C-alpha cells in the first residue's frame, strides 16, 4: 500500500516536472532572424522544484489530506441545522422578498452615486439570474451560452437607436422579443441533447453570436462597438443637461430644479428596479402555472413526463424562449446604462457568472438567486484591493460552497396547496 | 379497445418480442405473465410508444398507433406506470398530480398570468380531481410532501393516482405489486378491480404475483423468451401444460 503510494507520488512528481520544465524553464528568444533557446532565471527553477515537491507530498499523503477535508465538512456550521418547516420557509421567503424590494426602493436616496450605479448592475444580474433560473434551475437544461441572448437584447437597442433613432421604451419590448426568438431558434437543434452535450452546444452558440458581432463590421461596427445609446426618458423628459432628441423636454427644466447628474443614475436605477420586480413577479407566476410545473417535471424525469402526455419539444422550447426573453430585457437595460456596447461585454465569463448566481443561489429558488446576485456582484467590488486575487477568491468560495452546501444558499421552497377534502365515493367521478 | 397483432421488437441480434398478439376490450383486466427477461416490459414500451416496434400492428380505439410518439398515445387515453417507480421526486405529491392534468388545464400563458375565470375554474377542478384521487389511494395527508420522501408503497399508489387523474381508457401497470407487503398487495388488488368496475378503465397488467393475476384477470397472455406461449382465462392458463412446464413449474 505504502510502496504503491510512493510509486504513484513519484510518478506524479515526474509528470509535473516534465510538463512544467519546458513550459516555464525554457524560453525561445528571437534574435534577428534566428531563434535561440535560453534558460529562465533561477527563481523559476526554484518555483518548479517547489511545485514538484508539493505534488509529490500531496500525492504521498493524499488519503490523510482528503480525510482532513472530510472533517472540514463537519466544521461547517450549517451542516446539522434542521431545515425549517415548509410553511415557515414559504412565509420567510415572502417576507424577505418584500423587505428586499422595499429596501431597494429607498436605496438611491441614502446611497452614494457610485453605490446606486453598482446597485443597477446588481439588478441587471438579478434579472439575468432569474431568467437563467428558468432554464437551468427549473427545466434542468444546462445552458452555457446565456450571454448570447443578453447580447441580442443589447445590440437590438444599440442598432435600433443608431439606425432608426428608436428610444429605450420602444426598444425594450423589441429587444426582449427578438432575444426570445433567438432562444426559440436555439431550442430546436438542442432538443435531443442532454447534459454535457447540451452544455457544449449552448456554449458554442454563445461564442458564435459574439464572433458574429465582432465580424459583422458593417452592421455592428465590430470590436469598436456602438456608442451614443440613449438613456431612458420619463414621459418624454430627458435627464441630460441638454435635450438631445427633438421634441423631448428636459427633466430639470420641467421641474425647475438645478441640473444634477445623479438624477439620471437614480432614474435608471428605479426603472431597472421596476423591471426586476416585474421579472420576479412574472416568473413567480409562471412557476405556479402548468408551464412551470411541466419544466420541473421534465427536469425530474423526462420519461415519466412524456408518458403523461407532455411534449418534450414544447416544454424545452418554452423554457429556452422565456429564459431568453428576460436576458433580452436585461441586455436592453445594460445598453442604456453603459451608453456603449461592444462584443467585449458579452464574453463567456458573463455566462459563467450568471450560472454561478443560479447555482450558488440554490437551483430554482428565487430568493436565493437574488441574494447570490447581490453577493457575486458586490463582493468583487468590495475586494478591489485584492483585485488580482479576485477570481481566486471567487473560485475558492465556489469550492467551499460545493463542499458545504451543494444545494445552494436557499434550496427552492415548494408551493403549499391546500386541498379540500373530497368524498371518496365513486359516483361523483366521471 | 386495444389490439396488438404480431408485435415484434428486435434489438440488434436479439429478438426481444416475437409475434406477440393480444386484445384488451372495454372494462377488461388483461395480464401478461412470463419469466424474467421474457419481454413483457418491452411489449409495454412498444404499445406506449417508447420504442418503435420493428414489426406488427397496434390499434387503439380503432386507430393504428404503432410508431406514434409516446406523448400522443398518452393523450389518446392510454397511460402507464413503470417497473421502477418514476415520480417527479422533488415536486410535491399534489404537484405530481397537477402535472399529469395539463390537458385539463388552461395552458395559455396569458390566461395564467392574469388568472382568467376559465383558468381559475380549471385549476380548481384539477385540484378537486387531485384531492379525490389522493383520498382514494389514501395519500391525502401526504399532499404537500415531496414525492421522493414517500414510502415505497405510497410511491406506487401515487403513480397509479397520477395516471388516473388523466382520466384514461386504458391503464398499463408494470409489476405494480413488486415490493409491496401482503396487506398493500390486497389493497392494490381491490383498487385494480375498482378501477375496472367503478371507473370503466381497462387494465393491462404485468405481474409476477400469481394469486393477484389469477384472481383479477379476465384473460392472461403468457410469453416466454419473447414468444407467445398461451393465452386464455385464468382457468385455462392454470391447466395449460406448456405454461406449467415453462413458467409455473419453475416457481
Ligand atoms: N433497450 C434495449 N436494448 C437492448 N435490449 C433490450 C432493451 N430493452 C430490453 N432488452 C432485452 O429484451 C429482453 C426482454 O426484456 P424485458 O425488460 O422486456 O423483460 P421483462 O419480461 O420485463 O422481464 P422482468 O420480469 O425482469 O421485468 C431482455 O433480454 C432485455 O435484455
Ligand atoms: Mg419488466
Query: Does the beta carbon of B78 sit less than 6 angstroms from any atom of ligand 1?
Result: no
Which one of the ligands is nearest to B36 CA? Answer: 1
Query: Does the beta carbon of B41 sit less than 6 angstroms from any atom of ligand 1?
Result: yes
The DSSP result for A59-108, as a single string, is HHTHHHHHHHHHHHHHH-TTTTPPPPPHHHHHHHHHHHHHHHHHHHHHHH
ipTM given for this complex: 0.91
pLDDT 10s digits, B92-102: 999 999 999 98
* B50 interfaces chain A, CB cutoff of 8 Å: yes
Query: Does the beta carbon of B39 sit less than 6 angstroms from any atom of ligand 1?
Result: yes
What is the model's pLDDT at position B251? Answer: 47
pLDDT 10s digits, B23-59: 999 999 999 998 888 899 999 999 999 999 999 999 9
Q: Which residues of chain A have pLDDT under 70?
A: 1, 69-86, 236-237, 239-254, 256, 383-387, 390, 422-430
Q: Which residues in chain B touch residue A429, judged by CB atoms under 8 angstroms apart?
A: 132, 198-199
- In chain A, ranges of CATH 1.10.3470 domains: 86-404
What share of residues in chain B are helix, strand, coil (percent, to 5)? Answer: 40, 25, 35
User: Do residues A183 and A149 lie in contact, with contact meaning Cβ atoms separated by under 8 Å?
Assistant: yes
Model pTM score = 0.83
Going by CA atoms, what residue is nearest to atom 4 of ligand 1?
B11
Which one of the ligands is nearest to B208 CA? Answer: 1
Can you read off the three cell numbers belonging to residue B177? 405489486
Q: Which residues in chain A touch residue B89, judged by CB atoms under 8 angstroms apart?
A: 300-301
Q: Name the DSSP letter for residue B20.
A: E
pLDDT 10s digits, B166-223: 999 999 999 999 889 999 999 999 999 999 999 999 999 999 988 899 999 999 999 9
Distance A226 CA to ligand 2 centre (A): 61
User: Do residues B31 and B217 lie in contact, with contact meaning Cβ atoms separated by under 8 Å?
Assistant: yes
Four-way CATH pick for B1-77+170-251: 3.40.640.10, 3.30.413.10, 3.40.1350.10, 3.40.50.300? 3.40.50.300
Going by CA atoms, what residue is nearest to atom 1 of ligand 1?
B11
Going by CA atoms, what residue is nearest to atom 3 of ligand 1?
B11
Which one of the ligands is nearest to B32 CA? Answer: 1
User: Do residues A154 and A175 lie in contact, with contact meaning Cβ atoms separated by under 8 Å?
Assistant: yes
* A307 interfaces chain B, CB cutoff of 8 Å: yes
Whole-number Å distance between alpha carbons of B207 and B176? 7
In chain A, residues 396-425 whose CB comes closer than 8 Å to chain B: 414-417, 419-424
Q: How far is B161 from chain A (nearest CA, A)?
A: 12
- Tally A–B CB contacts below 8 A: 135
More confident residue, A77 or B66: B66
User: Do residues A409 and A361 lie in contact, with contact meaning Cβ atoms separated by under 8 Å?
Assistant: yes
Contacts of A20 (CB under 8 A, 6+ apart): A48, A51, A52
pLDDT 10s digits, A255-313: 767 777 777 888 889 999 999 999 999 999 999 899 999 999 999 999 999 999 999 98
Q: Does the distance separating the beta carbons of B132 and A308 come in below 8 Å?
A: no
Return the CATH class of domain A86-404: mainly alpha
What is the model's pLDDT at position A408? Answer: 73
Contacts of A218 (CB under 8 A, 6+ apart): none
Tell me which of A169-178, A413-422, B138-147, B224-233 is least confident: A413-422
Instruction: Provide mean pLDDT across the span B81-109.
Output: 90
Q: How far is A154 from chain B (nearest CA, A)?
A: 26
Q: Does the distance separating the beta carbons of A417 and B144 come in below 8 Å?
A: yes
User: What percent of chain B is predicted at pLDDT more than 90?
Assistant: 69
Domain map of chain B by residue range?
1-77+170-251, 88-167
Q: Does the distance separating the beta carbons of A414 and B146 come in below 8 Å?
A: yes
Instruction: Provide mean pLDDT across the span B54-79.
Output: 92
Q: How far is B33 from chain A (nearest CA, A)?
A: 22
Q: How far is B21 from chain A (nearest CA, A)?
A: 23
Q: Which residue of B has its CA nearest to A283?
A: B113
Amino acid at each position: 500500500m505504502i510502496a504503491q503510494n510512493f510509486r504513484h507520488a513519484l510518478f506524479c512528481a515526474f509528470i509535473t516536472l516534465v510538463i512544467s520544465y519546458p513550459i516555464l524553464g525554457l524560453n525561445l528568444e528571437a534574435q534577428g532572424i534566428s531563434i535561440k533557446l535560453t534558460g529562465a532565471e533561477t527563481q523559476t527553477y526554484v518555483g518548479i522544484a517547489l511545485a514538484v515537491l508539493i505534488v509529490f507530498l500531496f500525492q504521498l499523503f493524499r488519503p490523510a489530506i482528503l480525510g482532513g477535508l472530510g472533517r472540514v465538512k463537519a466544521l461547517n456550521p450549517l451542516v446539522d441545522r434542521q431545515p425549517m418547516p415548509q410553511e415557515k420557509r414559504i412565509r420567510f421567503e415572502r417576507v424577505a422578498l418584500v423587505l428586499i424590494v422595499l429596501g431597494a426602493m429607498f436605496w438611491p436616496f441614502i446611497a452614494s452615486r457610485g453605490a446606486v450605479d453598482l446597485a443597477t448592475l446588481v439588478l441587471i444580474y438579478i434579472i439575468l439570474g432569474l431568467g437563467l433560473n428558468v432554464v437551468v434551475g427549473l427545466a434542468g437544461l444546462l445552458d452555457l451560452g446565456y450571454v448570447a441572448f443578453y447580447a441580442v437584447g443589447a445590440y437590438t437597442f444599440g442598432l435600433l437607436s443608431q439606425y432608426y433613432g428608436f428610444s429605450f421604451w420602444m426598444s425594450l419590448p423589441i429587444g426582449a422579443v427578438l432575444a426570445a426568438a433567438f432562444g426559440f431558434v436555439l431550442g430546436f437543434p438542442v432538443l435531443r441533447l442532454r447534459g454535457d452535450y447540451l452544455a457544449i452546444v449552448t456554449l458554442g452558440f454563445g461564442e458564435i453570436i459574439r464572433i458574429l458581432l465582432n465580424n459583422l463590421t458593417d452592421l455592428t461596427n465590430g470590436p469598436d462597438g456602438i456608442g451614443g445609446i440613449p438613456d431612458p426618458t420619463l414621459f418624454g423628459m430627458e435627464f441630460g443637461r441638454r435635450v438631445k432628441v427633438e421634441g423631448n423636454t428636459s427633466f430639470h427644466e420641467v421641474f425647475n430644479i438645478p441640473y444634477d447628474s445623479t438624477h439620471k443614475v437614480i432614474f435608471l436605477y428605479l426603472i431597472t428596479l421596476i423591471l426586476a420586480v416585474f421579472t420576479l413577479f412574472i416568473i413567480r407566476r409562471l412557476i405556479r402555472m402548468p408551464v412551470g410545473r411541466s419544466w420541473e417535471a421534465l427536469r425530474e424525469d423526462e420519461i415519466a413526463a412524456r408518458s403523461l402526455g407532455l411534449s418534450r419539444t414544447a416544454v424545452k422550447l418554452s423554457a429556452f424562449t422565456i429564459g431568453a426573453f428576460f436576458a433580452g430585457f436585461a441586455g436592453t437595460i445594460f445598453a442604456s446604462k453603459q451608453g456603449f456596447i461592444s462584443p467585449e461585454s458579452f464574453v463567456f465569463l458573463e455566462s459563467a457568472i450568471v450560472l454561478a448566481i443560479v447555482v450558488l443561489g440554490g437551483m430554482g429558488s428565487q430568493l436565493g438567486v437574488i441574494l447570490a446576485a447581490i453577493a457575486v456582484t458586490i463582493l468583487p467590488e468590495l475586494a478591489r484591493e485584492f483585485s488580482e486575487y479576485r477570481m481566486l477568491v471567487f473560485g475558492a468560495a465556489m469550492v467551499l460552497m460545493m463542499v458545504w452546501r451543494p444545494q445552494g444558499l436557499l434550496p427552492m421552497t415548494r408551493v403549499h396547496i391546500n386541498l379540500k377534502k373530497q368524498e371518496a365515493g365513486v359516483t361523483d367521478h366521471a | 379497445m386495444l389490439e396488438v397483432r404480431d408485435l415484434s421488437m428486435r434489438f440488434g441480434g436479439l429478438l426481444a418480442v416475437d409475434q406477440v398478439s393480444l386484445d384488451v376490450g372495454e372494462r377488461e383486466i388483461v395480464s401478461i405473465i412470463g419469466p424474467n427477461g421474457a419481454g413483457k416490459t418491452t411489449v409495454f414500451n412498444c404499445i406506449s410508444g417508447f420504442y418503435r416496434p420493428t414489426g406488427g400492428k397496434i390499434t387503439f380505439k380503432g386507430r393504428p398507433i404503432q410508431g406514434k410518439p409516446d406523448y400522443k398515445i398518452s393523450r389518446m387515453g392510454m397511460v402507464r406506470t413503470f417497473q421502477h417507480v418514476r415520480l417527479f421526486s422533488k415536486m410535491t405529491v399534489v404537484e405530481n398530480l397537477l402535472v399529469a392534468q395539463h390537458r385539463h388545464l388552461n395552458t395559455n400563458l396569458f390566461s395564467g398570468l392574469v388568472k382568467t375565470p376559465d383558468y381559475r375554474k380549471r385549476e380548481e377542478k384539477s385540484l378537486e380531481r387531485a384531492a379525490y384521487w389522493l383520498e382514494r389511494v389514501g395519500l391525502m395527508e401526504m399532499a404537500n410532501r415531496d414525492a421522493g420522501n414517500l414510502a415505497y408503497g405510497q410511491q406506487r399508489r401515487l403513480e397509479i393516482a397520477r395516471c388516473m387523474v388523466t382520466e384514461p381508457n386504458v391503464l398499463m401497470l408494470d409489476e405494480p405489486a413488486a415490493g409491496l407487503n401482503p396487506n398493500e398487495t390486497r389493497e392494490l388488488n381491490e383498487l385494480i378491480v375498482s378501477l375496472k368496475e367503478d371507473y370503466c378503465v381497462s387494465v393491462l397488467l404485468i405481474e409476477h404475483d400469481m394469486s393477484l393475476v389469477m384472481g383479477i384477470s379476465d384473460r392472461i397472455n403468457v410469453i416466454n423468451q419473447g414468444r407467445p406461449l398461451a393465452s386464455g382465462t385464468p382457468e385455462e392458463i392454470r391447466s395449460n401444460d406448456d405454461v406449467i412446464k415453462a413458467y409455473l413449474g419453475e416457481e
